[in-house]
Amino acid sequence: MGAKYLYKVQVGAYTEKANAENISKKLKQLGFETVIIQENGYNKVQVGAFANKENADNLVAKLEESGFSRPLIIVSKVEESPKEEPKPNGAQKILELMIPYIGSKTAHKDFVYEYNKMMDKLGHSKIKMSDAWCTEFVNYMFWKAGLLKLIGYAKDSGTLYETAKKNGTWKSGTDDIAFGDVVIYKDKKGFPNHTEFALGGNKFISGNYKNGVYYRTRKNLNTVKGRIRPKYPKT
């Protein structure tokens, strides 16, 4: 068989392991899965390995948007067919599906078009460009990942909230928000009014925010009603 290649994204290489661990911690807080490779006296922090270079290029762009300067793509030749890459857990898979939309100037338009194609398949009503779409964005990503049953189909945060209570995946408050949670916010009367995907703590991915999809760090969580913790598969 002909040689194949893996494209590994490296954020940094450090002589001090503590420095590598600090960078790895920051990456994980933003939802990136990391590994530290010890090689030639350096502790190398890597984020992902791909058979497709385009996936590595997309990840480099997102890392730069998140404030990590000069991520490198390390190319390694694999003489034999590489083993199938481990399937990411559900939360990581959803994050990877969201990444192309984050910061995209056409995110709103692209999402509405793709969401309405999903509606054709499911037989539900479509949305318009003028509609709010935070909940639909999260719903679509779960559907695209094959995990919609974990939260249920919903066009609004109130429906997501009620479904989670029935499924036993709902918890009120903010004390344990973790990567992969679906966070629901409330209005002044306590009614659900917004949905985001959690990267952990006070960091989120928000659709229908500034007319697009963006990372969002909240200084306080006063408007959080609670979170849904989907029962993700282990692999």
Q: Can you give the residue ranges of every domain in the chain? A: 4-78, 90-228
Q: Which CATH architecture has domain 4-78?
A: 2-Layer Sandwich (3.30)
> Do 4-78 and 90-228 share a fold?
no
Of the candidate CATH numbers 3.40.630.30, 3.40.50.2300, 3.90.1720.10, 3.90.110.10, the domain formed by 90-228 belongs to: 3.90.1720.10
- Which pLDDT does position 1 carry in this prediction? 43
Quote the pLDDT of residue 56: 86
User: With 0-12 CB in 10 A as exposed, 13-18 as middle and 19+ as buried, what is 203?
Assistant: middle
Q: Under a CB-based contact definition with an 8 Å cutoff, are residues 196 and 180 in contact?
A: no
E-state strands within 23-71: 35-39, 42-50
Alpha-carbon distances, residue 94 vs 14, 21, 81, 197, 230 (angstroms):
30, 25, 27, 9, 12
Question: Can you give the pLDDT at residue 157?
Answer: 96
Amino acid at 183: V
Other Cβ atoms less than 10 A from the Cβ of 134: the count is 21
The Cα 119–Cα 104 span in angstroms is 23
- Residue 235: the pLDDT is 60
pLDDT digits (tens, 9 = 90+) for 158-217: 999 999 999 999 999 998 999 999 999 999 999 999 999 999 889 999 999 999 999 999
Residues of the chain scoring pLDDT < 50 = 1-3, 82
